[in-house]
Every structure is written in structure tokens, then in C-alpha cells.
């Protein structure tokens, strides 16, 4: 059966509409996971059934409540010190999210300023800033974090500083390209002719036009920052005990992984789900905010 041109167009529109519906539905799960993460981080003391440091040695290594030997008061079981895994997961969400958001805020501000400055001014400024950026991107981040932890001691501010000291370079590199594209545009030239200062042009005219790219980068960085913080805590150079972190919780169960698998499994699942959700949200934002991709 040969379809007419009108029928083919109608069929293609139906397929395109169905594809968009599937994509939007596919974003519900990552969005729900990220909202749940924020909810747990904000209201951790209210929703956690136990304190993150509460110990009961007589009930250590209890399996999850649905398994034989488990107790209903410990939904995801207990660790080797008798602490509730579920409660520590909730408090760990607060730790990981607060560190990640603070580090992202610092790196985004520094990277945005240097990227726009480099792209708009060009010349020697561009050369110097980009060489510093190249130097920062050439250092292994984990090694730098280990050196900082050894010299400053593990702690909240140390982890934030370690994640921020090199993380700005990626923002600067990307936004510098956007600023290079925009500095010769008509509205920037008109502002320059009108007598606007360079600082006003950069942050009144260029910055709003790179905001979409910045939002995508920030969304994608949530997962990577949480993964980096978890890696540092896993190695023992992150948040010190007894404050829980998903990475340190994974490390707590590695010596008894076969018998008490739930100690490491559940925080590991949380890390994986949040990283995937952040990446999916970043891709979705890129598709929505990029006018070229909206036409596909």
C-alpha cells in the first residue's frame, strides 16, 4: 500500500510526537530521584528513624528487615557498629549534596568570570588565562585532593577546597568559547559604540547569553561532584567519622562484603542513581535550551 505525501507527513508527525512523549516520560524518574535527594538532604533529621551516630553493638550486622534475622526498626539493616544503614543514607545525602553544591557554586563563579573575561578581552589576557586553565586541567584531581587532605587534614572545607581548586577550569574553557562567539555580535558592538564599559558588556550583555550553557554544565556537575566526593571519602581523605558519607559507607562494608553486602550495596546504588540522574537531566536541559537541538 502506497501512502500519499499528506499521509507520510502525518505519520512522521505522529512518530515525532510519540518520541517527545517518551523522552518527557523518561525524565520523570531522574527528576524524581534528584527531588528525593534534595528532600532527604533538607529534612534528614525529621525523616531519619535513628541518628547517624547511634550505635547498638548487640544489633550489629543485622540484615534488611525483609530478610530472615532482620528487624522492622532497621529497614536496610545495620553496619558493623550497629548503626542504621537507612538513617546514615539519609544523612549521607545531606553531606554529599551540601559539599557538591558548594563546590559547584565556587567553581561556576570562578570559571564563568575567567571564561567571559578571556573570551571578551582576548589577546594577552586570553593567552594567560587559558594557559593557567590548561595547567589546572593537566593536574590529576584525585592526587591534588590527597595532597590537600594530608596537608590540611580531612574535613568538610578541605573536601570543598579540593574539589574547587581545579574544577573551575572546565567552566572557563567552555564559556570562553561562548564569549568569543558573542563578542563580535551586533548587540555587543552596539553596546560598545554606545559607550558601555567592558565590565558592563561582559555581565549585562554576554553573561545572560551564556547562562543556558552554564546551567547545563552545573546540572552535569552535580553527579560528577558527588562521585568525586564519594571517591575521596572511600579513600579516607573526605568527611571524617562519624559523619556519614556515601563513599565512606561503601568503604565501611568492603571488609565484610560477602556476609554483610547491604552495608556497601545501598550507598553504592545511591551514588550510581544520582550520577545517572544528573547526567540525564543535563542532557535533557541541553536538548531543551539549545535552539538547534530543539529542531531535531
- Residue 117's alpha-carbon distances to 70, 121, 154, 214, 279, in angstroms, are 59, 6, 34, 15, 28
Handedness of CA 30, 36, 40, 42 (dihedral sign): positive
pLDDT of residue 217: 83
pTM above 0.85, yes or no: no
Question: 226 and 103 in contact (C-beta within 8 Å)?
Answer: no
pLDDT in tens, 205-241: 888 888 888 888 888 888 888 888 888 888 777 788 7
Is the per-residue pLDDT at 9 higher than 60?
no
β partners of residue 78 = 84
Mean pLDDT value across residues 98-116: 90
pLDDT in tens, 147-198: 877 787 777 888 888 888 888 888 888 888 888 888 877 787 787 777 777 7
pLDDT of residue 293: 47
Confidence of residue 3 (pLDDT cuts 50, 70, 90): very low
Is the per-residue pLDDT at 1 higher than 50?
no
Confidence of residue 278 (pLDDT cuts 50, 70, 90): confident
Alpha helices in 78-185 (DSSP H): 85-121, 123-138, 141-152, 156-182
Rounded Cα gap, residues 52 and 55, in angstroms: 9
Topology adopted by domain 101-243+280-294: MetI-like fold (1.10.3720)
pLDDT of residue 274: 87
Mean pLDDT value across residues 72-76: 86
- Residue 85's alpha-carbon distances to 28, 44, 54, 217, 245, in angstroms, are 27, 13, 11, 32, 11
Backbone angles phi, psi at 84, to 5 degrees: -70, 120
Structural domain spans, the chain:
101-243+280-294
The DSSP result for 230-257, as a single string, is HHHHHTTSSSPTTS--HHHHHHHTGGGT
Handedness of CA 165, 268, 214, 123 (dihedral sign): positive
pLDDT in tens, 60-69: 888 888 888 8
More reliable by pLDDT, 192 or 130: 130
Amino acid at each position: 500500500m502506497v501512502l500519499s505525501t499528506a499521509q507520510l507527513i502525518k505519520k512522521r508527525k505522529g512518530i515525532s510526537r510519540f518520541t517527545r512523549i517518551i523522552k518527557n516520560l523518561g525524565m520523570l524518574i531522574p527528576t524524581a530521584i534528584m527531588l528525593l535527594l534534595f528532600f532527604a538532604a533538607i529534612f534528614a533529621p525529621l525523616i531519619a528513624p535513628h541518628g547517624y551516630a547511634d550505635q547498638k553493638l548487640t544489633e550489629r550486622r543485622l540484615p534488611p528487615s525483609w530478610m530472615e534475622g532482620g528487624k522492622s526498626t532497621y529497614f536496610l539493616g545495620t553496619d558493623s557498629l550497629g548503626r542504621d544503614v537507612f538513617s546514615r543514607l539519609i544523612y549521607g545525602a545531606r553531606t554529599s549534596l551540601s559539599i557538591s553544591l558548594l563546590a559547584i557554586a565556587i567553581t561556576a563563579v570562578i570559571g564563568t568570570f575567567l571564561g567571559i573575561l578571556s573570551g571578551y578581552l582576548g589577546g594577552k589576557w586570553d593567552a594567560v588565562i587559558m594557559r593557567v586553565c590548561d595547567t589546572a586541567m593537566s593536574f590529576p584531581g584525585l592526587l591534588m585532593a590527597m595532597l590537600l587532605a594530608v596537608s590540611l587534614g580531612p574535613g568538610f572545607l578541605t573536601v570543598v577546597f579540593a574539589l574547587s581548586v581545579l574544577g573551575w577550569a572546565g567552566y572557563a574553557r567552555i564559556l570562553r568559547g561562548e564569549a568569543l562567539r558573542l563578542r563580535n555580535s551586533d548587540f555587543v558592538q552596539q553596546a560598545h559604540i554606545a559607550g558601555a564599559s567592558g565590565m558592563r558588556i561582559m555581565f549585562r550583555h554576554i553573561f545572560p547569553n551564556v547562562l543556558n550553557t552554564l546551567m547545563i554544565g552545573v546540572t552535569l556537575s552535580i553527579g560528577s561532584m558527588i562521585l568525586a566526593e564519594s571517591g575521596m571519602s572511600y579513600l579516607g581523605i573526605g568527611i571524617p567519622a562519624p559523619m556519614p558519607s556515601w563513599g565512606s559507607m561503601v568503604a565501611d562494608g568492603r571488609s565484610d562484603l560477602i556476609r554483610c553486602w547491604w552495608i556497601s550495596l545501598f550507598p553504592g546504588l545511591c551514588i550510581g542513581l544520582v550520577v545517572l540522574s544528573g547526567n540525564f537531566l543535563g542532557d535533557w536541559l541541553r536538548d531543551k535550551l539549545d535552539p538547534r537541538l530543539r529542531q531535531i
